[in-house]
Structure 1
Amino acid sequence: MPLHLLKLCVGIESVAELRRFTLARAKASPGAIHAHVTRMRPTRAGELLDGGSLYWVIKGQICARQKLIGLEDFVDSAGVRRCALELDDDIVSVAPRPCRAFQGWRYLKPEDAPADLGAAGEALPEELRRQLSALGLL
């Protein structure tokens, strides 16, 4: 059974902005694997790479996910060990759900992960999705 990660998407205001950022990064480095660098390597790598995703918290809500495709350990230029969370370029919007701020990342069990929105949910503007979620209607 896959396990997921939950991470704050600092500096990003919307799923649309996350998509633009990812696309710009892909254009700047064609063929490169999109990755998010973190200090610690997840200890449950096997479960994460068995179909797990990185769920992004944007403006206090879990809003999107990207499939995890690999974990790569490396040492940065300052000699600090890091882990690159290698991600699929496809960003999937999920049913928004409130989430308090935290540091680092957290494991997210499959049964606790929000459902994908699908085409009907994607058609709604993101701000409206946030408001409907806050009212408990989405």
Structure 2
Amino acid sequence: MAKRPNPRAIKAARTYTVEEAAIALGVSIGTIRSWVKSGLPLMKSQRPFLILGGALRGFLEGRAKAAKAPLQADQLYCLSCKAGRTPMGLMVDCIPQTPKTARLLGLCEVCGGTCNRIISQTKIDQFSRIFEIAIKEGRQA
């Protein structure tokens, strides 16, 4: 089962039964039914109830967009809190990931868990004005 269904797996010009939509997205039938209860429109004029592909795709894209919360400049994403948090003492480690990206790692002020943020290596100087950065060696892909 997919954690986040891919809206591109749905053809916008097609109609789907609840079962077909579940198979196309790799989710359970119950998941599709819960989406219907939370606002996914159905064509109820005949049975089996049909879901317009465009409506399903729009519903999934809307949910994904609503779930995203951009981080402020002084925040990293806390994996425990599942929210943007300021690292303890504004101290972070910078670990190169690829030739173009680096990962900022710190400790959450709220729970003490790991916080991280992927940034462009060209922006390390910009973030060094906000955070106290210690550059570590990392493996590049």
TM-score range, shorter chain: under 0.3
Point out the structure with max Rg over C-alpha: 2
Instruction: Judging by fraction of residues, say which structure has more helix.
Output: 2
TM-score (norm 1): 0.27
TM-score (norm 2): 0.26
Instruction: Judging by fraction of residues, say which structure has more strand.
Output: 1
